[in-house]
């Protein structure tokens, strides 16, 4: 994906790595949560993974959206320039 961005808009390697590592850590967390939950129940691990994925993709995204909006409002209100989302300096 990084190489499909226009050259003048590409993120530096460090920022790209930090952005993609957040996604990898989230996927690992969901995977290990699924393994842990499948050991606790007699359910099929694939169905539990689907339930985890759907909850993460719906409720998780909603919670993240609300959290980012709340933090962004506080940052704007307090005028903390260094904590703005998407501003890497």
Question: Torsion over CA of 66, 85, 11 and 22, rounded to 10 degrees?
Answer: -50
Nearest to 15 by CA among 5, 29, 28, 26: 5
| CA–CA dist 59, 61 (Å, integer) | 5
| Confidence (pTM) | 0.56
Burial track 57-87 (b if 16+ CB lie within 10 A, e otherwise): eeeeeeeeeeeeeeeeeebeeeeeeeeeeee
Q: What is the pLDDT at residue 69?
A: 93
Give pLDDT, residue 89. 61
pLDDT in tens, the chain (89 residues): 778 888 888 888 888 888 889 888 988 887 888 788 778 877 777 777 788 788 888 998 899 899 989 999 999 999 888 778 776 66
Note the pLDDT of residue 56: 81
Domain boundaries, the chain: 2-78
Report how far residue 13's alpha carbon sits from residue 88's, in angstroms, rounded to the nearest whole number. 13
Q: Are 50 and 35 in contact (CB under 8 A)?
A: no
């Amino acid at each position: 994906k990084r190489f499909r961005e226009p050259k003048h808009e590409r993120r530096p390697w460090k920022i790209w790595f930090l952005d993609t590592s957040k996604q990898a850590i989230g996927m690992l967390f969901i995977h290990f949560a699924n393994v842990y939950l499948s050991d606790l129940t007699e359910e099929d691990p694939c169905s539990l993974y689907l339930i985890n994925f759907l909850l993460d993709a719906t409720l998780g995204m909603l919670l993240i959206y609300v959290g980012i909006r709340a933090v962004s409002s506080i940052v704007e209100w307090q005028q903390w320039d260094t904590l703005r989302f998407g501003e890497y300096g």
